[in-house]
Chain A
């Protein structure tokens, strides 16, 4: 199918346009907007499944490539493609969107037209980020994803939504503006924005160490804020907590991955020497993030804030894996990105469900939910265990790969210490999650209001099923995913480890 990726980007935009046009129909009804949005996102998901026919099947090559001139005067190109590294992230995006829309079904009552239109535009921007191979185009989508999210938090968010929205916007914008300077600087060094062209040009004539140092920092800052890596994480708890449920799901599920994906695709591949030089610092920050996020999560009185801080911890694992420069670590990092999208996305949905019923998220308000809501509680426990990383569930695979990768890593000489410290993150995760479960789900019903809560309805069950299925499936049969991404990740790893200017680093472990 030619132009498949363009179709993928334009389908949600077309959906948003249909929504706007429908608003001019005189016999319109508010509840039709969500149906239209659902149809658009399901269609996008269905189309995105076609990517499975090509991407990552054979080697690291880019598939479904589209490459035409966009702005001739400055050499920017409309260059789209997917490979094993971006395939699953695109699918994660298109899968989470219908779920996000279903989760808003009854909770969003005001301004439905704008709400669903913003969600659809957000989807287009996120897909665009994952499939762009032109730096300027990538930046364009990267920044464009900010605007709909800003509105989603600001209009449909909680009480402190304005503060959260502005903080979210300004934090991310500052980081990415410096990346823009970096992108333009690269353009004036190599006269190209095109990723494959740049990779070749950089192999032929590497950057000077000084230029590479600064460019790495310019890109890394944008992505670190997005991830968010400690200490750039302070926007995250506010944004996650104040966003509407669907916003939190998308924010945690996809938007954070824009950062780690950017690190993998651009920082590691374009600036291999600087990546190796900075690895000790970044690994340290990742470990601090893992432990700090977990400890802070533990003491949160608000379930949503707890899940938000757990994201800081989980994303620390992803960064750790990426900067281990081992096959297992980097594959694990990519896998953990998907896991986090699935598990944390699901957790935010659960939080949304109880918030819709009780209009509070305070842990102290709950207790003994297992009695009135058995289905809810069962599934909530499964999702929490997946987030903790229990074997047979997806979280285990990702974290285990990352930890093995780190153990065998030669990126730092103290990799065993790093691994041991990071491993405590898994224990802390068990502590804060199980403690939260104990106080929310188990025990006697302490608050009378909780006794009459209704269990999951059909819609809520249906939207959870795909995620729960994935938790199990990804936990027992990760090969499906890892096989597709291996070649692409390996190509990037090869660049880091054997970059033109360096080469002193060797691979520690080869696993086949």
Chain B
């Protein structure tokens, strides 16, 4: 048996490099098993197991980070170990953990099957983690599908509620559509990256099959056989990712899905899958389609320039549309949905900077900025949805902005926390949102995108109107209807403490976190060097 293994072609497998993903998978399976056999009174166990799984996975991630091995990839280069991945993985675990905290009471209150919800949440997390760790378009697509299918179900989790059903169905249909775009794009890129290799006599004789490995793609785009296919493939993938991170003009699904989905699920969707989308979007475009000077240089310079310019347009559209439409919303969840679109736009500003940077240090700084931005967004956004969920009560009944009228001094803890999150989303100083904006706008200014940044800050000014509106309604208005302050469940209180302190910590002392992400991502240059070297060698 062992001799058979030794003789067959064994790819390099380093199981330890996907330890966090494996741990979450095991936890998800255990949750399903336990839930099947547990008595209904012991349902809380599934939440406990899930949390334990997330914490152990986080420890494993930190361990990987601290003991980064020399070999930075596994499974024949399909899985990458770099700090872009690890940074995002920690964000996903944080998002999943916070979602778990704010959903526990909701699941119980609505008489929903806790085990199913928790295992779906864990599987979605695994999907996101693979999206960040995949160095191969196939892995990224697999991760995306694991994530998507789990979230389709989660969005429709309140089966008896029509809005929840609508949300799920819309998300499913449009999501499948976008997945198809992505897959088609992957296929085209695969076709485009087949290259002709010199035969033994020096003439071009052998056609090598295409590739889905991102580093390989980067090294081959300089001599791609069918440049037009590359363009088409890149455009298709842009649409697929653009959908996942909800950028204009691929954002249409967002408000309906966010409004209809149960609030904890919305919190998760706005923070997690968006970050995951960015993780693979950055990896595919920044590392897979870099600026390459090659024999047929013009083509590839153009490809790089084309997607960067497209992203600039998308960023402007996304920020402006998200903020302007958010102004007229009367439902808090819908308003936050448009705000999430706008925030995808701000993050795209940093992404543009990462794409446009030709110097590895500047590019890494820009990527750090985007990762940091998505971290801050995850913290403040989940915090905001935690408050929205408590105020909405069971069945998400009270989500209109009018439901918040005059509650400021009736439940000061909720109202002041929500105000803090609104100010943070607005980007006021001393909050995480401010530092996030400084980072992404700074990265863009470093690349001389002054116009883009000015559009960005003017958009922030526009957004003041609707973020402040909630504060105004809560504090400046007088309560007209009877209102009893809702009780804050312990787990939600814990989530609120974490997010409030997180917003303040990231806003006042972001240095340590930025430094952590910064120094780590620097070693990503290795992959970059590899791809560039590959390009040169091929030349």
Give me the interface of A with B, judged by CB distance under 8 Å.
69-74, 111, 114, 136, 139-141, 143-144, 146-147, 150-151, 154-155, 161-162, 165-166, 169-170, 173-174, 177-178, 180-181, 184-185, 187-188
A170 to chain B, nearest CB (A): 5
CB contact under 8 A between A185 and B445, given known A71-B514, A173-B461, A177-B458: yes
Instruction: Tell me which residues across on chain B come within 8 A of A165, comparing CB atoms.
Output: 472, 476
In the complex, the chain A residue whose C-beta lies closest to that of B477 is A162
Give me 30 A-to-B residue pairs in the complex whose CB atoms sit less than 8 angstroms apart, sorted by A's number: A69-B511, A71-B509, A71-B510, A71-B511, A72-B511, A73-B511, A73-B514, A73-B515, A73-B518, A111-B409, A114-B409, A136-B438, A140-B429, A140-B430, A143-B434, A144-B430, A146-B428, A154-B475, A154-B476, A155-B475, A165-B472, A166-B465, A177-B458, A180-B438, A180-B441, A180-B457, A181-B441, A181-B445, A184-B441, A184-B453
Q: A residues within 8 A CB of B514?
A: 71, 73-74
B459 to chain A, nearest CB (A): 9
In angstroms, Cα B464 to Cα A74, docked, is 26
Q: B497-515: contact bitstring with A at CB < 8 Å (1 yes, 0 no)? A: 0000000000001110011
Chain A residue with the shortest CB-CB distance to B372? A73
For residue B460, which residues in chain A have a CB less than 8 angstroms away from its CB?
173, 177
Residue B446 is within 8 A (CB to CB) of chain A in the complex: yes
Contact present for B450 and A151 (CB under 8 Å): no
Is B468 part of the binding interface, using a Cβ–Cβ cutoff of 8 Å?
Answer: yes
When the two chains form their complex, are residues B457 and A177 in contact, meaning their CB atoms are under 8 A apart?
Answer: yes
A382 to B475, CA, bound (A): 39
19 more CB-based (< 8 A) A-B contacts, given A140-B434, A154-B475, A173-B464: A69-B511, A71-B514, A73-B514, A74-B438, A74-B439, A74-B514, A140-B429, A144-B430, A166-B465, A170-B464, A174-B461, A177-B458, A178-B454, A178-B457, A180-B438, A180-B441, A180-B457, A184-B445, A185-B450
**Chain A nearest Cβ from B406, distance in angstroms:** 11
Residues of B close to A141: CB separation below 8 A: 429
| Residue contact A184 to B438, C-beta cutoff 8 Å | yes
Complexed CA–CA distance, A285 and B401 (Å): 42
In the bound complex, what is the Cα–Cα distance between A165 and B506 (angstroms)?
28
Who on chain B is nearest to A177 by CB? Answer: B457
Q: B381 to nearest A CB, angstroms?
A: 20
Can you name the residue of chain A whose Cβ is closest to the Cβ of B412? A114
Q: Is B20 an interface residue (CB 8 A)?
A: no
A147 touches B428 (CB 8 A): yes
Shortest C-beta distance, A454 to chain B (Å), equals: 31
* A302 CA to B409 CA, complexed, in Å: 32
Closest to B420 in A: A147
Residue B154 CB within 8 A of the other chain: no
Shortest A129–chain B CB gap in Å is 11
Q: CA A151 – CA B423 in complex, angstroms?
A: 12
CB-CB < 8 A to A166: which residues of B?
Answer: 465, 468, 472
Quick check: is B442 within 8 A (CB to CB) of the other chain? yes
| From A70, A73, A161, residue with most partner B Cβ within 10 Å | A73
- CB of A158, distance to nearest CB on chain B (Å): 12
Residues A143 and B518 in contact in the complex (CB < 8 Å), given A180-B457, A181-B454: no
B407-427 interface code vs A (CB 8 A; 1 in, 0 out) = 001000000000000010000
Q: Say how far A431's CB is from chain B's closest CB, in angstroms.
A: 37
The answer on a CB contact under 8 Å between B429 and A139 is yes
**Number of B interface residues in the complex (CB < 8 A):** 34
Report how far A208 CA is from B256 CA in the complex, Å: 50
Q: Is there contact, CB below 8 Å, between B442 and A188?
A: yes
- The answer on a CB contact under 8 Å between A170 and B461 is yes
**Cα distance A154–B454 in the bound complex, in angstroms:** 29
In angstroms, Cα B475 to Cα A147, docked, is 13
A162-B476, A185-B450 known; A170 and B465 CB under 8 Å?
yes
Residues of B within 8 A of A (CB): 368, 409, 423, 428-430, 434-435, 438-439, 441-442, 445-446, 450, 453-454, 457-458, 460-461, 464-465, 468, 471-472, 475-476, 509-511, 514-515, 518
Q: For residue A150, which residues in chain B have a CB less than 8 angstroms away from its CB? A: 468
Closest Cβ–Cβ distance, residue B349 to chain A (whole Å): 12
Instruction: Tell me the complex Cα distance, A326–B1, Å.
Output: 93
- B507 and chain A: residue at smallest CB distance: A140
Question: Given A169-B464, A169-B468, A177-B457, A74–B476 Cβ distance below 8 Å?
Answer: no
CA distance A71 to B515 in the complex (A): 9
Flag if B468 contacts A181 (CB, 8 Å): no
Q: Collect the chain B residues with CB atoms within 8 Å of residue A155's CB.
A: 475-476
Across the interface, name the chain B residue whose C-beta is closest to A171: B461
Cα separation A170 to B471 with both chains bound (whole Å): 14
Point out the residues of chain A lying under 8 angstroms from B510, CB to CB.
71, 73
- The complex places the Cα of A154 from the Cα of B423 at a distance, in Å, of 15
Q: Which residues of B contact A74 (CB under 8 A)?
A: 438-439, 442, 514
A70/B511 in contact, CB under 8 A = yes
Cβ–Cβ < 8 Å partners of B445 in chain A: 181, 184-185, 188
CB of A412 to closest CB in B, whole Å: 31
- In the complex, which residues of chain B have a beta carbon less than 8 angstroms from the beta carbon of A178? 454, 457
A177 engages B442 (CB within 8 Å) = no
- Chain B residue nearest to A140 (CB atoms) is B429
A155–B435 CA distance with the chains assembled, in angstroms: 28
Assembled-state Cα–Cα distance A162/B464 (Å): 14
Cα-based distance from A339 to B319 in the complex (angstroms) = 44
| Residues in A neighbouring B438, C-beta threshold 8 A | 74, 136, 180, 184
Considering the complex, give the chain A residue whose CB is closest to the CB of B454.
Answer: A181
A8 nearest CB across to chain B (Å): 18
CB-nearest residue of chain A to B435: A71
Q: How far is the CA of A161 from the CA of B476 in the complex (A)?
A: 8
Q: Which of B442, B461, B471, B518 contacts A184 (CB 8 A)?
A: B442
How near does chain B come to A377, taking the closest CB pair, in angstroms?
A: 35
Please report the C-alpha to C-alpha distance between residue A27 and residue B514 in the assembled complex, in whole angstroms. Answer: 45
Residue of A nearest to B519 (CB): A73
**Are A187's CB and B461's CB within 8 A?**
no
Q: How far is the CA of A69 from the CA of B24 in the complex (A)?
A: 39
Contact of B515 (CB < 8 Å), options: A72, A143, A173: A72
The 8 closest A-B pairs by CB, nearest first: A140-B429, A73-B514, A177-B457, A71-B511, A154-B476, A174-B461, A143-B429, A184-B442
Task: State the CA gap A181–B440 with chains docked (Å).
Answer: 11
State whether B450 touches A181 (Cβ < 8 A).
yes
A143 contacts across to B, CB distance below 8 A: 428-429, 434
Q: Please name all residues of chain B whose beta carbon is closer than 8 Å to the beta carbon of A188 when the two chains form the complex.
A: 442, 445-446
How far apart sit A136 and B437, CA to CA, in the bound complex (Å)? Answer: 13
Q: Which of A69, A140, A154, A181 contacts B472 (CB 8 A)?
A: A154
Chain A nearest Cβ from B225, distance in angstroms: 40
Contacts of A111 in B (CB 8 A): 409
* Contact between A177 and B429, CB atoms less than 8 A apart: no
Complex Cα distance A111/B468, Å? 20
Q: Which residue of A lies closest to B510 (CB)?
A: A71
A154: chain B residues at CB < 8 Å are 471-472, 475-476
Contact status A162-B472, CB under 8 Å: yes
A184–B445 Cα distance when bound, in Å, is 7
Q: Which residues of B contact A161 (CB under 8 A)?
A: 476
A373 and B467 CA atoms in complex are apart in Å by 46
Contacts of A139 in B (CB 8 A): 429
CB distance from B443 to the nearest CB of A (A): 10
CA gap between A111 and B446 in the complex, in Å = 46
Contacts of B409 in A (CB 8 A): 111, 114
B435 neighbours in A (Cβ, 8 Å):
71
Q: With CB as the reference atom, state the residue of chain A lying closest to B429.
A: A140
With a cutoff of 8 Å between Cβ atoms, the chain A residues found around residue B458 in the complex are 174, 177
Chain A residues with CB under 8 Å of B461's CB are: 170, 173-174, 177
B95 to chain A, nearest CB (A): 23
Which residues of B lie under 8 Å from residue A140 when comparing CB positions? Answer: 429-430, 434
Residue of B nearest to A143 (CB): B429
Docked complex Cα distance between A170 and B469 (Å): 12
> B429: which A residues are within 8 A, CB to CB?
139-141, 143-144
Give B504 Cβ to nearest chain A Cβ, in Å: 12
Q: How far is the CA of A143 from the CA of B441 in the complex (A)?
A: 17
Contact partners of A173 in chain B: CB under 8 A: 460-461, 464
Query: Are B428 and A144 in contact, with the CB atoms below 8 A?
Result: yes
